[in-house]
């Protein structure tokens, strides 16, 4: 009887649940993305290439990808530190800090962009002191990086934190018994176990930053060839009724996102395979 219940499960059979899954994904993901590719085919190859190789488009793609990548790298490092503090230590105000981590999830991105611009502008609370050192944040690529780091941090923290909470401390005690230092224990025992979660958090933060619009549009300054991001350029094309051009740019970014996610998933698979073989 127990075996029968385990095989059937509490949900309908495989055929029905698989059918609902395919329909759900098709309506929300596959069909809209397919329409995007179909819309791009209305352009000739020469028009498509000419649109993508435009200097303004290439500059916006470079700004978006590089800013998203570096922001995700920073979040991969400091996100682990924040998750470590929340998972390992008990202190006054821990629940408040734990809730603040999720603030970028709940806060409208436009509100976050306005707040960051107010703080880091040359007359802002922090910007005025940075300006004395010759550091300008708002309306520069650095401001884009700050905004993308702000919205991407929770993805890394919430991915790594459960792994740390479920971590068996006896592994660290065994390493200490064998003479390992704290740093050696972290590098050779804890970090390999965390890497799949860190890579997943990095991928989520990178993907989120790549399509971010609201928090960046205010602090970037939106200067073509300098601080213009791809989502803003697509919006500009749509406002100019250049639907084909907007679709072409969106198609390239979609393909680039797929390729990057495939590479990241491959790296995660390699890390899991290496960790299992140890």
Lowest mean pLDDT of 15-19, 183-187, 209-213, name the range.
Answer: 15-19
81 pLDDT more than 70: yes
220 pLDDT more than 80: yes
Diameter of the chain by CA atoms? 75
Of 65, 58, 60, 54, the C-alpha closest to 222 is 60
The whole-angstrom separation of Cα 8 and Cα 102 is: 37
Give the chain as a DSSP string. -HHHHHHH-SSPPHHHHHHHHHHHHIIIIIHHHHHHHHHHTTS-HHHHHHHHTSHHHHHHHHHHHHHHHHHHHHHHHHHHHHHHHHHH---TTHHHHHHHHTHHHHS-HHHHHHHHHHHHSTTSTTHHHHHHTT---TTSHHHHHHHHHHHHHHHHHHHHHHHHHT--THHHHHHHHTT--HHHHIIIIIHHHHHHHHHHHHHHHHHHHHT--HHHHHHS---TTTT--HHHHHHHHHHTT-HHHHHHHHHHHHHHHHHHHHHHHHHHHHHHHHHHH-
Confidence of residue 257 (pLDDT cuts 50, 70, 90): confident
1 pLDDT more than 50: no
Structure tokens at 13: 């059979």
The whole-angstrom separation of Cα 51 and Cα 38 is: 17
Please write down the long-range contacts of 269-273, taking CB distance under 8 Å and 24 or more positions apart: 271/192, 271/195, 271/196, 271/199, 272/196
> Mean of the pLDDT values across residues 119-147?
89
Structure tokens at 50: 């000419």
> Mean of the pLDDT values across residues 14-32?
80
At 57 the pLDDT is: 92
Lowest mean pLDDT of 14-18, 187-191, 248-252, name the range.
Answer: 14-18
At 132 the pLDDT is: 87
Confidence of residue 27 (pLDDT cuts 50, 70, 90): confident
At 41 the pLDDT is: 79
Confidence of residue 207 (pLDDT cuts 50, 70, 90): confident
Could you read off the pLDDT of 32-71 as tens digits, one per residue?
A: 878 878 877 788 888 888 989 999 999 999 999 999 999 9
11 pLDDT more than 70: no
Work out whether the CA dihedral 259, 263, 266, 268 comes out positive or negative: negative
51 or 173, which is more confident: 51
103 pLDDT more than 50: yes
| pTM (two decimals) | 0.83
> Mean of the pLDDT values across residues 127-147?
90
Confidence of residue 5 (pLDDT cuts 50, 70, 90): very low
Residue corresponding to tokens 């890579």:
199
């Amino acid at each position: 009887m127990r075996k029968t219940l385990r095989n059937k499960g509490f949900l309908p059979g495989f055929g029905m649940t698989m059918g609902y899954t395919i329909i759900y994904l098709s309506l929300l993901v596959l069909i809209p993305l397919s329409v995007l590719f179909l819309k791009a085919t209305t352009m000739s190859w020469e028009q498509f290439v000419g649109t993508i190789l435009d200097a303004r488009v290439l500059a916006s793609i470079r700004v978006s990808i590089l800013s998203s990548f570096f922001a995700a790298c920073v979040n991969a490092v400091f996100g682990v530190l924040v998750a470590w503090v929340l998972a390992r230590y008990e202190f006054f105000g821990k629940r408040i800090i734990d809730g603040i981590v999720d603030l970028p999830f709940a806060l409208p991105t436009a509100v976050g962009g306005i707040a960051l611009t107010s703080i880091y502008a040359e007359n802002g609370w922090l910007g005025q002191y940075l300006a004395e050192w010759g550091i300008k944040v708002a309306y520069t690529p650095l401001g884009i990086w700050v905004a993308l780091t702000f919205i991407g941090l929770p993805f890394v923290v919430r991915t790594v934190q459960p792994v740390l909470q479920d971590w068996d401390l006896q592994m660290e005690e065994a390493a200490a018994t064998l003479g390992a230092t704290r740093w050696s224990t972290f590098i050779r025992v804890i970090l390999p176990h965390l890497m799949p979660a860190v890579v997943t958090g990095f991928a989520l933060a990178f993907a989120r930053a790549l399509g971010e619009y609201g928090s960046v549009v205010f602090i970037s300054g939106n200067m073509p060839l300098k601080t213009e991001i791809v989502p803003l350029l697509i919006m500009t094309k749509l406002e100019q009724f250049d639907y084909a051009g907007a679709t072409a740019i969106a198609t390239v970014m979609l393909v680039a996102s797929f390729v990057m996610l495939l590479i990241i998933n491959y790296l995660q698979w390699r890390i899991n395979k290496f960790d299992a073989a140890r």
